[in-house]
Chain A
Amino acid sequence: MIRTRGVRLTALLLALVLILLFTGGYIYSPVKLSREYHALAEADPVLSESFHPGLEQPGIIPVLKRKVYAQALLDLAARDSIHLVVDLRDSTASLTIRGVTISRVKAKAVELDRVLGMLAMKQYAGLFSHPVEITRQHSTIVKEPIVERHAPRDTLEALQNAYQPDTLIQRPAFMELRLEHGIRIIFEQEDNPHFRDRWASIFFRLNTSLRNVSRYLYEFFSLKGMKYSPRITIRMEANDIRAIYRALPASPHMVIAY
């Protein structure tokens, strides 16, 4: 009995220590990320050489951001395929291909992570003056809604099985894009009029939180160091989110401005 109690107490203490260490790492991760971004900017020799301290002045920041944005778009134009551009200054999300904007939609609401909003201009330029790779895409939308049909044996069977497209039923539109440097962009449909949409919204947010916590747990137990993942949330029409998700190829890039 005493041995069992001792084992239980030890297990409890161990669990408590692990939870405390995990929570501590979790809480410290934004500070660590901010320092990583700073180190990234300092390590860039071109940026360090060309970046004048005066560029941090409030009067110059909008012009510098305009230049950084234009530079990143020029880099994006050199790449093949369809890519995404998100400009939080005018709340738009665009699709571009070889420098041509083929779709521009207005977001209903945008939310920027405070850690990203606190970046110094040198860090901002270091992160966003080039297109950022989208490393993972996750969505409630089906990328290619493939319908399998078997060839009919004769004309009678062909007539009986004539295909009628059903576009009335559409899945709720929620999408998460994970970028390099750990940034996450989350697209949420603005209107949730039906119970199915509200449930999909709750489930998606829960799923996103679970994935985030699982990632933290994995990093904690693999001793890789827990990394904070800054988040940008964009709310827009469901059809626009579907069009964006279905247009993005397997390894797209994106340009962000805010």
Chain B
Amino acid sequence: MKPLAEIFHQVRMLVHRYPFAAGTAVIFIFLLTVPACMQKMVIGIMKVHSTRDLAEPGDIETIKKQLEWEAQQAERRLAAFTPRSYYLVVNSSSNRFILYRGGREVWSGRCSTGSYILLKNGEEQQWMFKTPKGEFRIQGKTANPVWKKPDWAFVEEGLPVPPVNHTSRFEFGVLGDYALSLGDGYLIHGTLFQRYLGLPVTHGCIRLGDKDLEVVYNALNYGSKVYIY
């Protein structure tokens, strides 16, 4: 009881010394709590819309059949949007992919996507390494791909940037056994760094493990859809 009395006394002293602040605090706490509680009470006693005596029983069956038919038509039209052949869905947030066929999951696994690194080379040049989101189509398929290194690949290693078709730009074996092109320089390819699968480490491309890449490469064709989110 004594500590409580002391606390009460201290609070009274504070209120007496800072009346404006104390008043504001009381109003603030009141506005956060009391109106919301009273609002919930009002919502609790609001009437639910009544559904009695609105139509004849015979009409109801007709209406129901018509509605079911319309709903089925709409659902059929909706189902037509899903590709019947293989398509790939990539989750760049959790770095996982799923291969579908006609809406059913066929294969899944880990992948690596963009690292969200913004590489700055002075004031004039910068590159953002992120995997784009949206709907894409396979625009090319290559076995034993060769990587033609862009400028940022030299800049991030502290190397001087060579001329456009210099031999040092071409690297063999780093993209794995296969590569599928999504356009704008983005690829689905393999990797030498299998331990990094499941982590956001790439420069925008999507990296798959060897087995996963083989399955995806054999399933997808030119024009197959790839969805990235």
Chain A residues at the B interface, C-beta cutoff of 8 Å: 15, 19, 22-23, 26-31, 34, 52-60, 63-64, 66-67, 70-71, 73-74, 77, 81-82, 95, 97-103, 114-115, 118-120, 144-158, 163, 165, 167, 209-210, 213, 216-217, 228, 239, 242-243, 246-247, 249
Judge whether A63 and B68 touch: CB under 8 Å: yes
Judge whether A163 and B157 touch: CB under 8 Å: no
Inter-chain CB contacts under 8 Å: number = 191
- Report how far A147 CA is from B156 CA in the complex, Å: 14
Q: Give 18 CB contacts A-B under 8 Å.
A: A19-B30, A22-B35, A23-B38, A27-B38, A27-B39, A63-B64, A67-B71, A74-B74, A103-B89, A103-B229, A144-B116, A146-B118, A149-B120, A151-B121, A151-B156, A155-B157, A243-B94, A246-B93
Interface size band for B: 35 or more
Q: In the complex, which residues of chain B have a beta carbon less than 8 angstroms from the beta carbon of A210?
A: 32
Judge whether B158 and A30 touch: CB under 8 Å: no
In the complex, residue of chain A having the shortest beta-carbon distance to the beta carbon of B90: A102
By secondary structure, the A interface counts as helix
Chain B residues at the A interface, C-beta cutoff of 8 Å: 27, 30-32, 34-36, 38-39, 42-44, 46-49, 51, 54-56, 59-60, 63-64, 67-68, 70-71, 74-75, 77-78, 80-83, 87, 89, 91-94, 103, 115-122, 128, 130, 133-135, 155-159, 196, 199-201, 225, 227, 229
Q: In the complex, which residues of chain A have a beta carbon less than 8 angstroms from the beta carbon of B201?
A: 165
With contact pairs A99-B81, A243-B91 given, residues A30 and B51 touching in the complex (Cβ less than 8 Å)? no
- Expressed in whole angstroms, the minimum distance between the Cβ of B161 and any Cβ of chain A is 11
- Report how far A64 CA is from B229 CA in the complex, Å: 32
Q: In the complex, which residues of chain A have a beta carbon less than 8 angstroms from the beta carbon of B159?
A: 155
Q: In the complex, which residues of chain B have a beta carbon less than 8 angstroms from the beta carbon of A67?
A: 67, 70-71, 74
- Report how far A148 CA is from B129 CA in the complex, Å: 11
In the complex, residue of chain B having the shortest beta-carbon distance to the beta carbon of A76: B78
